[in-house]
Amino acid sequence: MGERIELAPVDRVEVTTLYDNLVDASLPGGGAVERLTPEKGAPLVSTLLAEEKRNPFVGGHGLAMQVTVTRAGVSRSLLFDAGGSPDGLVHNLDCLGLQPKDWNCIVLSHGHWDHTLGLIGLHERLRRLDFPLTLHPDAYLTRVNVYPDGSRSRTVPPSRQGLRDAGLELVETMEPSFVLEGMVLVTGQVARTNDYETGAPAHHKELSDGTLEPDPLICDDQGLVINVAGKGLVVLSGCGHAGIVNTVQHARAITGVPTVHAIVGGFHLGPGAFQARIPRVVEALATLEPAIIAPTHCTGYRAMFQTYHALPDAYVQNTVGTRISVGSVP
């Protein structure tokens, strides 16, 4: 591990989920958790309805979050991942009345389709994506999952030239880097420091000659870290392929901040090959004693269930339209 990185505290962070596997309009909010409702965008009109209705949120396999940080009265926002649907991100933005022009940059947690496809709809809407985009260089790798029964699934990555042609200013780095005027730290490649978050055994990368090479660690997986004054770290993951415990411990190590206030994002414990890890992951997360823990997307029901039982007071069931706020009210 290199020298520690000074991550200056911010006054407040708001994390708004724009796309996730779950949509549930019935969940209660309270405290740090606000459940937003669709109040903007074009209404739904049909002869099958007695009157017009506001369009509901849509969800699906994937994750996208808007992150807004405030320090000394100055607020900045970014898009963290774009979801797994060409249309879902822009639809939910319309429902919430949120404007991409308010973002200062985009960060991709990794290159898998369920975190990138929303860029297609965003490009179609805006015509030009005039944002800096931070990602790991391995995000462009074509990946193939080879399963024990011999079946395969291919993951189509983003195109480097296509992203450039769309107007994005690419910031490709394996190292930790700052965005939003130093208020948010992108972890870069996460150190693997435990013996149970060992990657995805089925995962391979496709080489230029078409052959496959094992790629279980998915090294492009990275997260975001915010240091909130008087609270501690807020750590965000996309899928958590690096391991959610590894990611949080990496955030603590590179910043030197020991207290973890909130953990939000995918833990990637849903697939069967990962479920044996759940007890150790949950035990490690519980020892951190976060005030908020919100598993999303690919965490899986069993891991969510065990996380809830280990940390019932901290647990937040995340959905599209969930906003988690930490810090002082502006």
pLDDT (0 to 100) of residue 1:
53
Q: Which long-range contacts (CB under 8 A, 24 or more apart) does 246-250 make?
A: 246/190, 246/191, 246/192, 246/193, 246/194, 246/197, 247/187, 247/190, 247/221, 247/223, 248/285, 248/288, 249/191, 249/193, 249/194, 250/187, 250/190, 250/191, 250/193
108 band by pLDDT with thresholds 50, 70 and 90: very high
Quick one: average pLDDT of 162-173? 98
pLDDT (0 to 100) of residue 3:
80
329 band by pLDDT with thresholds 50, 70 and 90: confident
Full-model pTM:
0.97
Quick one: average pLDDT of 161-189? 98
Question: How far apart, in whole angstroms, are the C-alpha atoms of residue 198 and residue 192?
Answer: 8
Burial of 221-251, coded b for 16+ CB within 10 Å and e otherwise, reads bbbbbbbbeebbbbbbbbbbbbbbbbbbbbb
CA-closest candidate to residue 233, choices 216, 253, 211, 209: 253
Contacts of 177 (CB under 8 A, 6+ apart): 134, 171, 185, 186, 188
* pLDDT for 173 beyond 70: yes
* pLDDT for 330 beyond 80: no
How far from the centroid of its chain's Cα atoms is residue 120's Cα? 18
Tens digit of each residue's pLDDT (9 = 90 or more) over 111-141: 999 999 999 999 999 999 999 999 999 999 9
Domains of the chain: 12-43+56-327 (3.60.15.10)
Tens digit of each residue's pLDDT (9 = 90 or more) over 246-288: 999 999 999 999 999 999 999 999 999 999 999 999 999 999 9
